[in-house]
Amino acid sequence: MREITYREALKEALIEEMKRDERVFLLGEDIADPFGSAYKVTLGLSSIFGTDRVIQTPISEQGFTGAAVGAALTGMRPVVEFMYIDFTTMAMEQLVNQAAKIRYMSGGQAKVPVVFRTQGGPGRSSAAQHAQSIEALFHHIPGLLVAMPSSAYDAKGLLKTAIRLDDPVIFIEQKLLYNTKGEVPEEEYTIPFGVADVKRNGTDCTVVATSMTVLKALKAADILAEEGISIEVVDPRTLFPLDIETIVESVKKTSRLLITHEAPERGGFAAEVAAQVANLAFDYLDAPIQRVCAPSVPIPFARNMEDYIMIDESKIADRVRKLIRGDI
């Protein structure tokens, strides 16, 4: 099977869906040529579809988010790009009080089929206002679906599904993933929301990881395998809807659970997974549930300090060793 980058997979998804459905259009800051968005996912699309379907917006997140919600209510299927996830905070009124609530408040009479693409996470010395991982904010809001693909295959399949759904989707891409490569079939496919993927089978400990930490967990698995420790890596792919069943079945097999993500530990998605597993599989646990997450501090600009707070394979491997030894 061919290998393409995460960036190329996203672009293919957009092209295919825009060709399939004329109601799909894009809007955001600097997304048209020649810039093609901050991470070049939309480069070339305005040349294919024109500037009436790849719409360059002013620097007003609240404005273009409101426009997208309105367009969705009238039957269009907009795909919005936020240059950085940090900037979604400028449009929380539209995201939280409008997009997420209208279908419920109308008794299902109105639908809001809009996708909000954005990227987050540390790793490029982007500092405190351009490198946050705030997916927990959106995961907390009823009415919003949240996707965090970790591979090119998942990125394409999930984005195509997101565009076809009738509910608003927060679609989060980690900035360091854009150049990663993976196998992506040329034929049509979609990935349903709410279906986790076991990225690696194991027997000694379940590691639930999201986005970039999936890659870190897989590297940790290689390190630990040389020591005779087998970990199972589960990628939820969507935070909501969450496939808790797959996670619970994995924990029943391994009897240990570690959850990792780049967001701060305090109030993070890991706490929700831990609570649900404790409720559904407590009797199967041989050790306390562990979290490997970022500390509750703003992202530093200095590269050495940013590296210090980032999640890496050594931090995951070290915590797994302690779980296995019973040192927790």
- Per-residue tokens: 52: 């009436």
Catalytic residue of the set 130, 135, 173, 262: 130
130 is catalytic: yes
Task: Please report, for residues 15, 176, 219, 319, the alpha-carbon distance to residue 313 in angstroms, rounded to integers and kept in the order given.
Answer: 35, 15, 6, 10
Q: What does the pLDDT average to over 111-117?
A: 98
What are the residue ranges of helices labelled H in the chain?
6-20, 45-49, 61-73, 92, 102-105, 135-139, 152-164, 212-225, 244-254, 269-281, 303-309, 313-325
* 179 plus 210 within the same structural domain: no
Q: 215 in a domain, yes or no?
A: yes
Find out whether 172 and 139 touch, Cβ atoms under 8 Å: no
Check if 140 is active-site: no
Asked whether residue 15 falls in the same domain as residue 163, the answer is yes
Is residue 192 domain-resident? no
The CATH number assigned to the domain holding 262 equals 3.40.50.920
In a domain, 244, yes or no: yes
Residue 228 located in a structural domain: yes
Residues 36 and 177 in one domain: yes
Provide the pLDDT for residue 203: 98
Per the structure, how many domains does the chain have? 2
Write down the pLDDT at residue 326.
87
Whether 171 and 211 map to the same domain: the answer is no
Q: Are residues 47 and 97 in the same domain?
A: yes
Average pLDDT of every residue of the chain: 97
Token look-up 């599904």 returns 161
Q: Is 81 a member of any domain?
A: yes
What's the gap between Cα 133 and its chain centre? 10
Are 31 and 171 within one domain?
yes
1 confidence band (pLDDT: 50, 70, 90): confident
Q: What Cα–Cα distance (Å) separates residue 82 from each residue in 57, 124, 150, 198, 275?
A: 11, 18, 19, 30, 31
Q: What is the CATH number of the domain that holds 33?
A: 3.40.50.970
Kindly report the pTM of this predicted structure: 0.97
State how far the alpha carbon of 207 is from the alpha carbons of 202, 214, 257, in Å.
Answer: 10, 9, 6
Query: Is residue 189 domain-resident?
Result: no
Q: Same domain for 303 and 233?
A: yes
Domain shared by 218 and 172, yes or no: no
The boundaries of the domain holding residue 300 are: 197-325
Note whether 131 and 280 are same-domain residues: no
Q: Is residue 45 part of a domain?
A: yes
Q: Is residue 133 located within the same domain as residue 207?
A: no
Per residue in 145-178, pLDDT (tens digit) is 999 999 999 999 999 999 999 999 999 999 999 9
Pick the catalytic residue from 12, 17, 29, 61. 61
pLDDT value at residue 328: 78
**Mean pLDDT calculated for residue range 306-328:** 94
Q: Are residues 21 and 116 in the same domain?
A: yes
Asked which of 183, 210, 237 is the last residue of a domain, the reply is: 183
Q: What is the pLDDT of residues 120-152, one digit of tens each?
A: 999 999 999 999 999 999 999 999 999 999 999
Q: CA-CA distance, 144 to 91, in Å (whole number)?
A: 14
Same-domain status, 277 and 219: yes
